[in-house]
Structure 1
Amino acid sequence: MKVIFGIDVSKSTSTVCELINDSKSITTITNDRAGFLELLNDLKAFTQHPQIIFEATGVYSKRLQTFLDDYGYEYVFLNPLKAKKEMNLGLRHNKTDTTDAYHLALIQKLYHHPVNQLQAEQYCQLNALSRFYDQLTSDIVMAKNRLHKILQFTFPELESLFSAAKGFNYWSIVKMYPHCELVNGSTNLEIYNKLIELPGFQDKKAKKFTLNLISSARRAYPAASCNSVESSEAKYYAQRLIDLNKKRKNLIAQMVKIAEDLPNRDLEILESIPGFAQVTAVRVLGELGDLRRFSSPNKINAFIGIDPGRYQSGEIDASLSITKHGNAVARKILYRAIGQIDNASKTHPCHIADYYESKKLSSQTKGFKKIAIASIHKLIRTMYALINNDQLYDYDVAKHNQKRLLS
């Protein structure tokens, strides 16, 4: 007797379809302690653990996932895009919570999706911190855009004194001088004394920057007064950027501490890959988790959505672009990692950078994005092999293995 529980999770309730062979029964539970205990009683009615499947609906499904983990029940945690595609193959015409729960149970009966592998709690903590880091990054981008906009009213020339990569010193100076008139009303010595307190500002640089700042302030023609709301707003966003950046650094420090306390040396292994900075390494651990739980590198490709789609009709059998059904954050991190590896290869050679550069030189039609995706495939295979074999990266060994595979 095959028993499958298909669960459609909503904000405050969940619809449960209990599928026993071809017989089904539908119930609704609340997403709280009482509702989960009701579900537990239904699960305990069977001598063997039923198969459980539900969609990854963000924050709403997390409580159900935690409940099942706490009581030792295995489950299939299905990506919503993949679930929708598989349910639509059955020519689903109506969409309700009841039919969704039923169709989830049906696709598990048809496709036999493997259950999710449990990981150490540290990986869950790393994932939560990684997502917090990603949110802070979005907040920083938003605050930067707003600061740029508001400075056009008060002191637009200030931006030109810094390179494109503006950071702590730039925000600190905006906080001190959000309006050009504040510079005009200060002496050279007053400005110099403030600048010399900032990191990286030695005597010579502070004197030169003081003159440039005064010159820029004299050229400026502001659209708002010195005591305007816009001046206060510029100062606010400068301080917000300082705080957000500090918080983001603290998160990385937390992630490093957790990763170093893992009962393995995954962090050290990932950092041994040329171009893999500590930030990249801990975020990869946070998004991908324990790579040992995957049975092959192809499973990781599918997890982050870089596995190719397929179109088959009659005599046509073609590969499509990547599915993008997986972890978009991990996909973004690994895409950027390829650029970091390529930049680092000038001083620290890496077979992935060799592959990336050779493809760019030989390809006349493929865009760089496609080449980067192909390089991510190679990076994933490398990470998977290193972690499963508990080895640090070695360029000579990697080159030797490449030649052996080609021969």
Structure 2
Amino acid sequence: MNEQAVGIDVSKKKLDVCVADGDKIKTKAIKNTSAGHVELDQWLLKRELSANTPIVLEATGPYSEAVAIALSDAGWAVSVVNPARITGFAQSELSRNKTDKADAKLLAKFAQRADLDIWQPPSIAVRELRARVDRLQALMDMRQQELNRIEALDQGTPSSVKSMVEEHVAWLDKQIARIQSDIDDHIDGHPELRQDAELMRSIPGVGPRASAQFLAYIGDVRRFKSAKALAAFIGVTPKQKQSGTSINGRTTISRAGHTAARKSLYMPGMVAKRHNPVIIAMAKRLEQRGLAPKAIVGASMRKLVHLIYGVIKSGQPFRAEIPMAGLEIQEGI
């Protein structure tokens, strides 16, 4: 058990921090900004904590990763934990309160007791890739909004506004093409990214955009001990509701993990279900077992994660005959 530990509950605008020293508790609320991250580092130093004091945050996407990077760069021992582990710990503690301050205290208690892995921050190359991928997604969202406006304008009285929106769409098309090219050049300019991207693209269903998104959100998959651990981090592991003979709910994916990475796998999962021989075979087996279509898509996403982990870990491109051998064991969501 760690005598000293830190828990940080992360939200968009603030960080609720709890330092536990034995049974003693010290809390503070700090803005979740770059300046706030510097303030947090200084505040922790004043608590006279050792550099290896565990600091635990839940994996909540960009809001938690920014502060995790700042603390890791400052030399602290940061662990970014799947929310499902914290939920399970809260249930074991019979935790009733649900406030930011109470959550920070719960995270600190978890950090005192749990066996933790030190989080490895993404490389500078991955951080830059993520910024470009996020910008591409923002531009594509804007383009879709403008296309929706054009459709709405077509239903009403003719207006000059339509031509203005069309001009904006044309500008967005140029910006999207430009940043897509920038993303390709960035990956090609970094050998470690280029190699992993090429291995991923050897898998039917994973194209240039999907591979860029996956690398941007996950980074180096080799840091995970297994494909199962990677799938749990993303949130595509099975979630079953079954108890005795009275409860037998549908199996779904857990969704307790990295939301952006999970979303980036949805369309590749759909495509792979039609074009990847390994996933086609798995989907047919699941259909015969009566699994719902959505559950089969979830299974396809999970299988893709296993395939991605396999090709990158082995350094060998996708070959259908290799994963087919393990299909009997690994099929399912």
| Band of TM-score, shorter chain | 0.7 to 0.9
Q: Which runs of 5+ in 2 are unaligned?
A: none
- SS for the counterpart of 1:75 is strand
Task: Compare relative contact order (CA 8 Å, sep 6+) and give the higher one, 1 or 2.
Answer: 2
Q: Is the 8 A contact 2:51 2:76 kept in 1?
A: no
Q: CA deviation at 1:272?
A: 1.1
Q: CA deviation at 1:40?
A: 4.4
Cα deviations by residue, 1:95-151 (Å, 9 ceiling, x for unpaired): 444333212201223444433223322222222322222222322222111110101
Aligned identity (percent) is 25
One of 249, 253, 256 as aligned partner of 1:322: 253
Distance 1:89 1:249, change over 3 A: farther
The corresponding residue for 2:305 is 380
Distance 1:273 1:239, change over 3 A: same
The corresponding residue for 2:67 is 64
* 1:245 partnered with 2:248: no
Q: Is the 8 A contact 1:87 1:104 kept in 2?
A: no
The corresponding residue for 1:338 is 269
The corresponding residue for 1:281 is 211
- SS for the counterpart of 1:8 is strand
Q: Is the 8 A contact 1:127 1:287 kept in 2?
A: yes
Equivalences for 1:33-48 in 2 at 5 Å? 35-42=39-46, 45-48=48-51
Q: CA deviation at 1:239?
A: 1.8
The corresponding residue for 2:18 is 17
Which segment is superposed worse, 50-59 or 286-295?
50-59
Q: Is the 8 A contact 1:29 1:39 kept in 2?
A: no
Instruction: Letter of the 2:207 partner, please give it.
Output: A
- SS for the counterpart of 2:18 is strand
Instruction: Letter of the 2:235 partner, please give it.
Output: G
One of 276, 281, 290 as aligned partner of 1:354: 281
The structure that has the greater radius of gyration is 1
One of 185, 200, 204 as aligned partner of 1:257: 185
Distance 1:90 1:274, change over 3 A: same
Q: CA deviation at 1:252?
A: 2.3
- SS for the counterpart of 1:325 is coil
Which segment is superposed worse, 144-153 or 370-379?
370-379
Q: Is the 8 A contact 1:2 1:20 kept in 2?
A: yes
The corresponding residue for 2:136 is 133
Q: Which runs of 5+ in 1 are unaligned?
A: 154-222, 225-229
Distance 1:321 1:139, change over 3 A: same
The corresponding residue for 1:165 is none
Which segment is superposed worse, 140-149 or 6-15?
6-15
The corresponding residue for 2:292 is 367
Distance 1:358 1:296, change over 3 A: same
Give the RMSD, CA atoms, in angstroms: 3.3
Q: Distance in 2 between matches of 1:324 and 1:297?
A: 16
Q: Distance in 2 between matches of 1:298 and 1:248?
A: 34
Q: Distance in 2 between matches of 1:23 and 1:313?
A: 40
Q: CA deviation at 1:270?
A: 0.9
Distance 1:255 1:85, change over 3 A: farther
Q: Distance in 1 between matches of 2:60 and 2:207?
A: 32
